[in-house]
Every structure is written in C-alpha cells, then in structure tokens.
Structure 1
C-alpha cells in the first residue's frame, strides 16, 4: 500500500516524478543533478530533503509490494493510475507533465519504460505535447 499524500501536494507531485525516474529501474545520477538545474524543488515548493524523503518512502512502498521471490514490478498500471490520480488540478498536471518531460531528457536517453509511463500520464490526463508547449511558451 502506497503512502498517502494530500492530493495536489508537493509530495504527490514529487512522487510522480520519482515514479518516472525509477520506471526503468535505473536512477541516473544526471537525473538527480538535473533536479537542481531545472529548479524542480522550487517549482514544486518542496525542499531537497523532503524530496529525498518522498523518494525513500516510494522505494520502501515498492519493496513492501515485492513478490515472494523478491521481484518488484516497477511498472504496474493500477499503481501508476492511483498515483496519477493524486494530482487532479489541471495546472499542476500540466506542471508535472512539463517537469517530467524535462527530467526524462536529462540523461540524454528516454528509456522504453520512461516513455511508456510518460505517454500513459499524458493519455490519462488528456494532455498533449502541444498543450505543454503552449502552456510554457507564453
């Protein structure tokens, strides 16, 4: 069972970025570095320390869900949908989708897992890349 955060909270938004970063099972150091370069802490209104706490909680929640043989399903549609539903404010969805796009490009490669999660995020939230570009071009 995933830890509960208030809907649309900085923690709920941070956890979505963490889910995306960990989707391929590889947390690239460049992704962590890019959190600061992209001003993600300030944008989400969360401290670096609190972001790390959310990251640890997410990892603990994943390990609690492990199968008896120890395998962990990083991509689980129900979990992803449940987490995506914790951000329901349209402006915050647009913000998270934009930050997620910037983050996935940080390590210069977008893995199949990251792409699948990101595409699902956009579909579930009824967003397009044009929506993101329009919102942040102005």
Structure 2
C-alpha cells in the first residue's frame, strides 16, 4: 500500500526493495508483490493523491492491510522496507507520508525504533537505502 499511496509504483521503489532482498524477507515473490501494488493502485492509490487525510473508506482499506501483519518484528521490518522504498525516488509525497505515518501510529512504531531497524539492517544494500524520510518541498 505504501508503494502505491501516491498513485503510481516507481521502478526505483521496487528496485530499492529488490536491493534489500525485501521480497524474500517478507516471504512474497516479487511478481505477487507487484500484483498487490497494482491492486492497491486500483483500490485506493490514485484516490489518495487529491486528499490531505485518509477518508473513512480508504482508512478502512489501509487498516485491513495493516492488520494482516500481526507480529511486531514483521511490522517493524515492513516499516523499515517501506522507508527505503518511499525515499528511493529522492522525495516523499504527501500521500506516501500520510499512509506511512498512519502505519507507524497504528502499529505503535516510533521514529527511534525505525531508525534502529534501518541502522541494524544487515542486508548488503542497507547503507544505500538509509536515507532520512523527509517530505519533498513541493508536496509538504
């Protein structure tokens, strides 16, 4: 969902996930992940682009996806991987930040926890994908 939040799936985001071996770590083949991204784009992704908050319908959809991940360590891993994907194109759109911040809040993941997860990520490409999560000036 976080990859699709801005209404498109940027190839750099998928490459960042590939570099971090995200698909294997999440237990989801890349082709299945891409299919899920396209489902999210169809369901909500393009609808978020014009809003500054999650509408009830969108929030319910996002919450269903978030609630499917029950283990706290898996949630932290998803947040860590999402942070890499969201910053892969050099900017974080308002829509991406909206969904990402909602996930952090719903899962009770603090920025400090996320920073530690990034710093302690042992994958070979982790250092290349350890950029701070900042909003693009034009989008907030």
Relative to the length of structure 2, the TM-score reads 0.69
- The answer to whether the Cα contact below 8 Å between 2:3 and 2:37 also exists between their aligned partners in 1 is no
Unpaired runs of at least 5, structure 1: 1-18, 66-71
One of 32, 37, 61 as aligned partner of 1:79 = 61
Alignment of 1:114 onto 2:92: no
- The answer to whether the Cα contact below 8 Å between 2:23 and 2:33 also exists between their aligned partners in 1 is yes
| Cα offset, 1:92, TM superposition | 0.6
| Cα offset, 1:134, TM superposition | 2.6
In structure 1, the residue matched to 2:135 is none
Alignment of 1:1-40 (within 5 A): 19-40=1-22
Alpha-carbon separation, structure 1, partners of 2:41 and 2:92: 21
Alignment of 1:41 onto 2:23: yes
Alpha-carbon separation, structure 1, partners of 2:19 and 2:32: 17
Alignment of 1:88 onto 2:70: yes
| Cα offset, 1:57, TM superposition | 4.2
1:63-118 deviations in Å (ceiling 9; x for gaps):
xx8xxxxxx63451111112111111111111101111111011110000000111
Note closer, same or farther for the CA distance 1:33–1:135 as it changes in structure 2 (3 Å cut). Answer: closer
Alpha-carbon separation, structure 2, partners of 1:108 and 1:136: 17
- Pairwise CA RMSD: 2.1
Alpha-carbon separation, structure 2, partners of 1:88 and 1:78: 17
Give the paired residue count: 111
